[in-house]
Chains A and B, each alone.
Chain A
């Protein structure tokens, strides 16, 4: 099913929850609504579900306005962060509940519940009560309940936030796999950018109720349109260095501040030159140690071992700090002098006032 939001807004008195969001979800697409908590993404989801009524704007399913259609007639399945299972019913009764409400014959109910439960790997738990299940099992039941009525649209509200890290990884893969197999259009709310990056076909980044960007994970990562997206997408987050000026020296474009002078590729540099002081963005993985000793000099400030890499915070001259990823075998320690090479092929530039990218409009 195709979902379209047109100038969707939700206000409670003076409080703006969602501010003029427009986007389209294609049939079979997996879209993540990503943003910090309280940004309006869950409100958007609940409006799509029909729980909240939009203050203004339209929601369209397959080109038809559904603003006034109650949740039960929207043919959607939803999975909640708290699982929202019915504690007084068994797993079977929980999954069968949507079918019971549709007055599906008993025998067919049994068959379909068994099918979905087997698919989710909980076929042997049908007689248990939710309270007797682990978090992961409860989440599978919730997913089974959402899937059993063959919905045209699946909504997820931070479904993995209550699981431990390991289980979250497993369930992440599993949800993505099921969604691909079943081809059900899905909208997935999360504050975890890794979840959004790994699962979604497209990500809608929301901040303060406004849509910041709506693009594929690659695009958001490689070509962030705003400062907020640059800082929000990617883990560890992008280094953002203020007060950088880009100047032309002969054929070369140089980005400089008190700590460094870096040569920038011409196609990026010429868009920034003459813009005054700008913000330079560079990801930790695009900074490396310079073997030949030529580059930006600094001093190791903090080392955070991540296992595969060390996340190293380096103080540059002046009050500039940058993070980069180093090989743990180098055994960097605070206070050690280092020389860094910036891969300026990947450098981003932002206007400090409008907070928009100077490279991608």
Chain B
């Protein structure tokens, strides 16, 4: 009996040691990130920083200021924020809609060239978008020449940027959605067809609700991609009117005058705020997505 108590205590102790060790390791590994965020926060409210310390003009500790945030009164920042939002929303809607329709067709229907489409999308996904920049430029130029559409989806328009972003993300989206559709039993679809639903209604009323978690995951990822997009907007827009937040930040780094890093930090933080709020309210659902889709009857 006594021996048993001993071992129990010992194993309890070793378990505690082991779990605290895990915590220590975890804390150490996130320190660099946390310090980065701390610097970002401190920097936005000070004239300048040395390490994590805010300094004023004379080099004394202190010097808190709101000057870095003055940009919020500039109408331009709201313009580029709106552009960022438009691109991100276009991504969510465009990629979501197109890939759930294409994914459904690829998963469920047998048509000529199905295999070809599948392997082509996979190859396209492997293409780094940098290699396509020049050819996309010509495509956008061609679209610009079209009357009507050119003003919305042509070169140097928010629509054009969104269009390019959507198409570059489609291969991933289609494969992802195809995977989700593959997991849904054929019987449910057959039952709905026999119950009297049209193919479209089966897709919309029966199948789409089953893959809601997958669709939500895709929406989150595409929103974040759109929101923080830099390469495509920077390449296919001129000037700040049609640019988005990341490109705007780049404009703040002028080559002729000294860069105000603290202001850049403030804009960066400003760009992060919606994401933080979003994650704060949806973290539980997002975890659900990662831990594995639908469980029967939810």
- A84 adjacent to B201 (CB under 8 Å): no
Residues of B within 8 A of A72 (CB): 193-198
Residues of A within 8 A of B194 (CB): 49-51, 71-72, 74, 76-78
Residue interface bits A184-202, CB-to-B below 8 A is 1, else 0: 0000000000000000000
Among B192, B294, B298, which residue has its beta carbon within 8 angstroms of that of A86? B192
Q: Which of B250-298 contact A (CB under 8 A)?
A: 294-298
Q: Is residue A145 contacting chain B, with contact meaning CB distance below 8 A?
A: yes
Stretch at the interface among A126-134, A165-173, A238-246, A342-350: A126-134
Residue interface bits A131-151, CB-to-B below 8 A is 1, else 0: 110000000001001000100
Q: Is residue A87 contacting chain B, with contact meaning CB distance below 8 A?
A: yes
In this complex, what residue of B is CB-closest to A77? B194
Residue interface bits B203-234, CB-to-A below 8 A is 1, else 0: 00010011000000000000000000000000
Q: How far is the CA of A238 from the CA of B59 in the complex (A)?
A: 101
Q: How far is the CA of A130 from the CA of B209 in the complex (A)?
A: 14
Among A84, A88, A102, A129, which residue has its beta carbon within 8 angstroms of that of B191? A84
- B192 adjacent to A87 (CB under 8 Å): no
Size of B's binding interface in residues, CB under 8 A: 21
Q: Is residue B135 contacting chain A, with contact meaning CB distance below 8 A?
A: no
Q: How far is the CA of A334 from the CA of B191 in the complex (A)?
A: 52
- B193 adjacent to A86 (CB under 8 Å): no
Q: How far is the CA of A142 from the CA of B141 in the complex (A)?
A: 56
Residues of A within 8 A of B195 (CB): 72, 97-98, 101, 145, 149
Residues of A within 8 A of B190 (CB): 46, 49, 51, 71, 78, 80, 84
- B198 adjacent to A88 (CB under 8 Å): no
Q: Interface majority SS on B: helix, strand, loop or mixed?
A: helix
Q: Is residue B185 contacting chain A, with contact meaning CB distance below 8 A?
A: yes
Q: Is residue A22 contacting chain B, with contact meaning CB distance below 8 A?
A: no
In this complex, what residue of A is CB-closest to B188? A84
Known: A71-B194, A72-B195, A132-B297. A87 touches B210 (CB 8 A): yes
Q: Is residue A55 contacting chain B, with contact meaning CB distance below 8 A?
A: no
Q: Which of A79-102 contact B (CB under 8 A)?
A: 80-82, 84-88, 97-98, 101-102
- A130 adjacent to B296 (CB under 8 Å): yes
Among A80, A131, A132, which residue has its beta carbon within 8 angstroms of that of B187? A80
- A86 adjacent to B206 (CB under 8 Å): yes
Q: How far is the CA of A267 from the CA of B295 in the complex (A)?
A: 63
Residues of B within 8 A of A80 (CB): 187, 190-191
Shortest CB distance B48–A (Å): 56
Known: A102-B196, A131-B298. A81 touches B206 (CB 8 A): no
Residues of A within 8 A of B198 (CB): 72
Residues of A within 8 A of B295 (CB): 131
Which of A86, A102, A132, A157 gathers most chain B CB within 10 Å? A86
Residues of B within 8 A of A81 (CB): 187
Residues of A within 8 A of B206 (CB): 86
Residue interface bits B157-191, CB-to-A below 8 A is 1, else 0: 00000000000000000000000000001011011
Q: List 16 A-B contacts (CB under 8 A).
A: A49-B190, A49-B194, A71-B194, A72-B194, A80-B187, A84-B191, A85-B188, A86-B191, A86-B209, A87-B294, A97-B192, A97-B197, A98-B195, A130-B296, A131-B298, A145-B191
| Chain A residues in the interface with B (C-beta under 8 A) | 46, 49-51, 70-72, 74, 76-78, 80-82, 84-88, 97-98, 101-102, 129-132, 142, 145, 149, 157
